[in-house]
Structure 1
């Protein structure tokens, strides 16, 4: 099945990745034209709920939009990878609503690495958080970790930069199209990631601007892609806590930077809460980091777990 028609499905109103995947799986034929797409929708309506009727004009427009997206991706050297392609990260199948299509720039071999570790945290971390986070990230890089983060300001920027400065590899998962780098001030960082065989990844097609709910969706992919998660610094209600919840549901090792009393503020309240609830591994020494790395990368393969997010 051509990826263009999978993209076209997602261009239709009220069709998200979960429903699109169900539609494709419910039909016994390949979609190779607008007519096939219409037939697939009609056939799926008898088996699945929530599929509205679409006019020929709406379907044709969705296909045209998909063709434009495919051409734009090709022009930008963006790989369009569907859930049915061999290069699709199998880790994403662990969540209930895996993206049906992802858009990837950079070295696909880096995406296939086995020792992927998410390093995440607040956009406005403390000086202690940044310095300690850099040292932890550097330590993990020496153990062969590929650093996954979200290209946001603060802790994410620190994690990606640390990887680049220490000849490591890094993957940035974005909440927007890969031609709409967010935040704008990290465009140079994004280019440096590509220049050092890293990867930019998004489930949103080129031209898609960031939206508030896309951050949570991005966070689920950061967690799912990685073998474990390290939280550098987070407030109680910080966006980082969404990634923590996804990692917890996936039963992943979760490392948490321990802040000594003199460095504890509202910015690290999330770290304190996680550790006090015994829901994370305290990272307060080189030995603790080594133990966390061993636990993360030497554990048996995870069993598939359906982890739901807030959007189809």
Structure 2
């Protein structure tokens, strides 16, 4: 990857954050990113299936941003962009549906390359039950040097990040927005700590704000980074179940914590178990399962 190509790629992603497959299609049309600056707006609109007015704005901002030292701007904010073509880009993410073209990270970059990552997710309305379950699930995994991946949402995600650090482990938080914003606000202090001591990751340029549709999209990254998925609590209609579907599509094991049949927050996990998820109540069970069917050591 030449410096020129990287600058062009990061600039395009900044003004129009295409996923990798869409970027590849654009590149096939253009032949070379050098052609983008002089590409007629009408042609670009047809390539991207957008309005010509939008293509005009894209080209205007792209040409303008090419004059800015974007990587210096990222460095100032301690943000590291990792394009798909970089050696630092995780191989596991290249296997998911429509991988991110660029990852933006803050914190301990070594966690991204760690071979043993496992996701912990659950309801935003998770109860004390999730916290108690994580006391039994996380320590054995952390003792085996697993990095815990979650989404820094309220409830189960927050419990997972905090418990991991409390037990001396390492954790990655995947955000559904850019680094210049924070959601939910009550997790901002935790997020700032993770950015210094752990790792924050997003596929969105720093200025991109919070949009509801971006959170289901980020779930493919959570599952894609991880060897398996642990669900603590989930209602029947829950974004958590979307992540489990993605994990299953990616060929990942899904572990679910069984719960009371009277608990709304356990109806989703109990349903997952009925449909084939592996019921667990100890981290040792997960280690046994992973040792049986993989060579994660």
TM-score normalised by the chain length of structure 1? 0.82
Report if aligned partners of 1:173, 1:222 keep a CA contact under 8 Å in 2. Answer: yes
Where in structure 2 are the equivalents of 1:159-308 lying within 5 Å?
A: 159-196=160-197, 198-261=198-261, 264-278=262-276, 280-285=277-282, 287-295=284-292, 298=295
Provide the residue aligned with 1:120 in structure 2. Answer: 121
- What do residues 183-218 of structure 1 show as CA deviations (whole Å, max 9, x unaligned)? 12222212322333x210001111221110010011
Q: CA deviation at 1:102?
A: 1.3
Report if aligned partners of 2:8, 2:33 keep a CA contact under 8 Å in 1. Answer: no
Report if aligned partners of 1:229, 1:252 keep a CA contact under 8 Å in 2. Answer: yes
Distance in 2 of aligned mates of 1:29 and 1:251: 35
Q: CA deviation at 1:23?
A: 2.0
Report if aligned partners of 2:230, 2:256 keep a CA contact under 8 Å in 1. Answer: yes
Provide the residue aligned with 2:12 in structure 1. Answer: 9
Q: CA deviation at 1:163?
A: 1.5
Q: CA deviation at 1:267?
A: 0.8
Distance in 2 of aligned mates of 1:77 and 1:201: 12
TM-score normalised by the chain length of structure 2? 0.86
Report if aligned partners of 2:236, 2:267 keep a CA contact under 8 Å in 1. Answer: yes
**Cα-Cα RMSD:** 3.0
Q: CA deviation at 1:68?
A: 7.6
Q: Which runs of 5+ in 2 are unaligned?
A: none
Provide the residue aligned with 1:303 in structure 2. Answer: none
Alignment length (residue pairs): 292
Distance in 1 of aligned mates of 2:117 and 2:272: 22
Report if aligned partners of 2:233, 2:269 keep a CA contact under 8 Å in 1. Answer: yes
Distance in 1 of aligned mates of 2:95 and 2:52: 31
Report if aligned partners of 2:121, 2:157 keep a CA contact under 8 Å in 1. Answer: yes
